[in-house]
Amino acid sequence: MAELQEKISKRFPGATFEEGETLLINIADSSLHDLVKALRDEHGFDYLVTIVGFDRTTALGCVYYLASTKTQRLVSVSAQTTDRDNPMLHSIADLYRVAGLYEREVYDFYGIVFIGNPDMRRLFLNIDWVGYPLRKDYDSNPELNPVSIENERQSDTTTEWVEMPDGKVEKREHTIFEEDEFVINIGPQHPATHGVLRFRTSVDGETIKKIDVYMGYIHRGVEKLCEDLGYMQTLHFMDRLDYFSAHNYHHGLCLCIEKAAGIEVPERARVARVMMDELSRIASHCLFLGTFCMDLGATTMLFYTLRVREQILDIMERTCGARMTFNYDCIGGVIADLHEDFVKDVKELLAVIPKNLKEYNKLFTGNVIAQNRLNGVGVLTREDAISYGVTGPSGRASGWACDVRKTHPYSGYDKLDFKEIVRTEGDSMARFKNRIDEIEQSAHILEQLVDNIPSGEWLAKVPKVLKLPVGHWFQMVEGCRGVFGVYIESDGGTKPYRLKLATPSLPAAGVVDHITRGQKIADLITIGGSLDYIVPDMDR
């Protein structure tokens, strides 16, 4: 890192550095684009993990988390502006495809305009929303934003702020669809969008020309809510994001808070967390297999996969007391000890999994119709997967080894023996097969742990009211759908000053337009299904 710091300070004399868990480079807005470009092209930071907007009352700005897919190093870049009335930063949307979406999110919450981003619309909130909710001086008076009873507003144009050669910034409008295009509205109420997601789809016959994705129908402002809650309380939102990786998300936030507070987690709790994560992964992938096949018209498969999921939910119910919103991981460990039958139940589950996987493959994977529907449909190349930030099984199907359990091991994953499933085809079939294989690997992890659960405490001593020192932390874990990142910024109080959740579903939805162009309407369903996004996870 020191070498990197030296090189950058030579080229960008204005940059200042802060050492922390990752190197933070503070840079002026004018050289932001050049710095990020240099980091990407010369130092291999080709993956934009997330953009965290912040409002430090004196300044508005962003922290960019960049990672290298070769060395797995993380670096963060921060740029800010003091102009609160017309905050503007330069866009890096031309460097990372996913940055366009992330910048829209920052614009939505903080009102920071990104110069050069071709699509500066709000991402989650209504287009006529008054105010920017994550700013510290936001007026949350409900009269300002009454519930709309009009028809839904949609924008047929996007706005771009373009910088002129003389330094002035000009506003331009682009139309999304031409006058005579046949645009179908798929969603928000549609069986195949897996939640309230809306695709405005322009078609030519059955062929898709362009898709405009509308999100935010299930936006609940979790990040905003968390700013008013104690650290313990923020945990309860984690199972409302991607409700199939509730354990994994809890795990991520707990790790981040524990790292900040310096809490050591007992060994038993650590293993319990990992086991719950892997059980969740199996359950989540099972549900994926079922719903995906149902999207393709093979309804029966759903019931066969739900059978396994049901068994897992029973195991979780016994230990956690819930089947969906578990709240099992808590700061310092887990909330309750594993149920006495846990080991027996897990062994029973492990016994049925191979048989079931064989059945799934027999029923669906080898079917000639399934193969025709999946092979070569929605091909995502490795470069695009990285640029669009598509992680998880979908990213690994494109040949990108992005499993956080391998790249940044946590909770003892480095001591476990399991394979990272990577395929290079990048099509829907690869994404489908990857998940079947990951069930196998998760079962393998469980096999190693089930007989070696350490005894002892399951919860460390944690003060009732937790205060974090001043600072900021970033933690990534592998959710069932990809990289889940948590950024916490603390001002030393009992509540997070800023809590940012980087979820895998947002980039997955962002890539849909790119890989469906030129394919058929039915392929949109295949591709959307195979990317396996969860709408509450992208909307938060």
CA-wise closest residue to 529 among 294, 240, 269: 294
Q: How far apart are CA 62 and CA 498, in angstroms?
A: 12
Angle between helices 428-450 and 342-360 (to 10 degrees): 150
Per-position b or e across 446-481, b if 16+ CB within 10 A of its CB? beebbeeeeeeebbeebeeebebeeebbbbbbbbbb
- Cβ proximity to other proteins: between 438 and 523 the closer is 523
Angle between helices 342-360 and 267-295 (to 10 degrees): 30
- Cβ proximity to other proteins: between 126 and 365 the closer is 365
Tell the smallest beta-carbon distance from residue 199 to other proteins (Å).
Answer: 12
Tell the smallest beta-carbon distance from residue 163 to other proteins (Å).
Answer: 40
Distances, alpha carbon 4 to alpha carbons 7, 10, 46, 95, in Å: 5, 10, 15, 20
- Cβ proximity to other proteins: between 401 and 522 the closer is 522
Tell the smallest beta-carbon distance from residue 374 to other proteins (Å).
Answer: 9
Binding site for other proteins (CB under 8 A): 182, 184-185, 190-192, 206, 293-300, 302-304, 307, 363-364, 367, 369-370, 372-373, 520-525
Tell the smallest beta-carbon distance from residue 185 to other proteins (Å).
Answer: 8
Alpha-carbon dihedral angle through residues 7, 403, 379, 122, given to the nearest 10 degrees: -70
- Cβ proximity to other proteins: between 169 and 184 the closer is 184
> Could you give the 3-state DSSP secondary structure of residue 252?
helix
Q: How far apart are CA 173 and CA 183, in angstroms?
A: 20
- Cβ proximity to other proteins: between 292 and 473 the closer is 292
- Cβ proximity to other proteins: between 29 and 359 the closer is 359
- Taking residue 69's Cβ as centre, other Cβ atoms within 10 Å add up to 17
Tell the smallest beta-carbon distance from residue 106 to other proteins (Å).
Answer: 34
- Cβ proximity to other proteins: between 182 and 424 the closer is 182
Tell the smallest beta-carbon distance from residue 214 to other proteins (Å).
Answer: 17
Tell the smallest beta-carbon distance from residue 377 to other proteins (Å).
Answer: 9
Distances, alpha carbon 253 to alpha carbons 74, 316, 360, 507, in Å: 18, 20, 34, 20
Nearest 5°: the CA angle 222, 227, 231 is: 95
